[in-house]
Amino acid sequence: LKNHVNSGLPKESDMEIKEASIQLKIPDGTKDAILLKNLYLSCDPYMRNRLKKLEGSYVASFQVGSPISGYGVAKVVDSTHPGYEKGNLVWGMTGWEEYTLLTAPEILFKIQHTDVPLTYYTGLLGMAGTTAYAGFYEVCSPKKGEYVYVSAASGAVGQLVGQFAKLLGCYVVGSAGSKEKVDLLKNKFGFDAAFNYKEEPDLDAALKRCFPEGIDIYFENVGGKMLDAVLANMRVHGRIAACGMISQYNNEQLDAVHNLMYIVPKRIRMQGFIVSDFYHLYPKYLEMIIPSIKEGKVTYVEDKAEGLESAPAALVGLFTGRNVGKQLVVVSHD
Ligand code: NDP
């Protein structure tokens, strides 16, 4: 990181690529360490918060002058940790660099299934997938036949929430910011309907058209004006899973939400959640998702940026909607 960015759209030039030498062996006497060769890095919207100089956030700020860290897929090249050995493939928290020495691994999972694309562990089989699974099944209390709305629906999390809701037999509508993304929602992910929110400034009218009987479940990825419009279109006993509010991440001042009062007469349950509270469900999620992938019941679209030098633009692109599907960076193919 070159400098912190507290508000506004982050720029590629807020980050820089630096060369440094690294020993490809863990120093003698260093216990419980793992040296990783990074293969794929995941670009995630929550990283916007870490670009800020913040205190008291649920994630720590990145340090100026140090490599950014985030989720990724890597190969163990050396280990003094009893749980890992050379050659293991892992996903979890790593550095935005070619090699990372982890001295106290926090979130790290050994990859057991290698007969699926390894890049999936940056999204579908990693953090975003667990988010969609926990957010939809645990937080939304979904039932067959319910009306489900997903915003930022073509992204890493949204495309999965829509597919999970379809598998359960719900009626699913998604919104996204381009024609290409709307086509994906309808033709690739099987959403019943979709709209481009950038071309429909009257969000209330768009939601009324898509949900003449109202929304039972809103999977919230966007916040701001979208949340306001949704609140007015929820059904009685509706549920809102507050997964993220990306429209607010660059704002200095948060947008006011005017329609919150609807929560009372409509008896809406709105619940925020953080995926790391649900990692105990990861094995259960794998049991469900691996066969679904192999049987072609769930599909996944990825947007791969090639090379570490493309990482800053890939991260910044999340906030302009440049990514189509899960944004990841290929550092090395093996
Ligand atoms: P995406 O792959 O969906 O990428 C971000 C997308 O957000 C962009 O492509 C863009 O799509 C959309 N977007 C960007 N700016 C705006 C804006 N101002 N208004 C509306 N849409 C915007 O990201 P993820 O699927 O990884 O994340 C989706 C949400 O889930 C985020 O809010 C994220 O913070 C949250 N999240 C929360 C987790 C948790 O533990 N609670 C874990 C993981 C993610 P478009 O072209 O459609 O505008």
- Residue to probe by mutation, ligand 1, list 58, 196, 221, most atoms within 8 Å of CB: 221
φ, ψ at 320 (rounded to 5°): -115, 0
Placement of tokens 């190969």 in the chain = 75
Of all protein residues, the one whose alpha carbon is nearest to atom 45 of ligand 1 is 177
Q: What is the pLDDT of residue 283?
A: 98
For residue 114, the CA-to-ligand 1 centroid distance in Å is: 28
Is the pTM above the cut of 0.80?
yes
Residues 136 and 164: beta-carbon distance below 8 Å? yes
- Residue to probe by mutation, ligand 1, list 42, 122, 138, 157, most atoms within 8 Å of CB: 157
- The sign of the dihedral angle between the CA atoms of 83, 85, 88, 93 is positive
- Give SS3 for 251: coil
Q: Give yes or no for residue 178 CB within 6 A of ligand 1.
A: yes
Residues 165 and 143: beta-carbon distance below 8 Å? no
Q: Give yes or no for residue 247 CB within 6 A of ligand 1.
A: yes
Q: Give yes or no for residue 274 CB within 6 A of ligand 1.
A: yes
Domain map (residue ranges) of the chain? 12-122+301-330, 127-276
Nearest to 132 by CA among 112, 162, 154: 162
For residue 106, the CA-to-ligand 1 centroid distance in Å is: 24
Residues 177 and 321: beta-carbon distance below 8 Å? yes
Q: What is the pLDDT of residue 149?
A: 99
CATH homologous superfamily of 127-276:
NAD(P)-binding Rossmann-like Domain (3.40.50.720)
How far is 128 from 45, CA to CA, in rounded Å?
11
**12-122+301-330 and 127-276 in the same fold:** no
Pair of tokens at residue 260: 């919150």
How far is 231 from 102, CA to CA, in rounded Å?
44
How far is 236 from 117, CA to CA, in rounded Å?
42
- Give SS3 for 84: coil
Q: Give yes or no for residue 42 CB within 6 A of ligand 1.
A: no
Of all protein residues, the one whose alpha carbon is nearest to atom 10 of ligand 1 is 321
Q: What is the total residue count of the chain? A: 334
Q: What is the CATH number of domain 12-122+301-330?
A: 3.90.180.10
Q: Give yes or no for residue 46 CB within 6 A of ligand 1.
A: yes
Q: Give yes or no for residue 135 CB within 6 A of ligand 1.
A: no
Q: Give yes or no for residue 279 CB within 6 A of ligand 1.
A: no
The ipTM (two decimal places) reads 0.99
How far is 332 from 307, CA to CA, in rounded Å?
7
Q: Give yes or no for residue 222 CB within 6 A of ligand 1.
A: yes
pLDDT tens for the chain, 334 residues long, are 999 999 999 999 999 999 999 899 999 999 999 999 999 999 999 999 999 998 777 789 999 999 999 999 999 999 999 999 999 999 999 999 999 999 988 899 999 999 999 999 999 999 999 999 999 999 999 999 999 999 999 999 999 999 999 999 999 999 999 999 999 999 999 999 999 999 999 999 999 999 999 999 999 999 999 999 999 999 999 999 999 999 999 999 999 999 999 999 999 999 999 999 999 999 999 999 999 999 999 999 999 999 999 999 999 999 999 999 999 999 999 8
Name residues whose C-beta falls within 8 Å of residue 20's C-beta, 6 or more positions apart in sequence: none
Residues 254 and 248: beta-carbon distance below 8 Å? yes
- Give SS3 for 259: coil
What does the radius of gyration of the chain's CA atoms come to, in whole angstroms? 20
Of all protein residues, the one whose alpha carbon is nearest to atom 1 of ligand 1 is 155
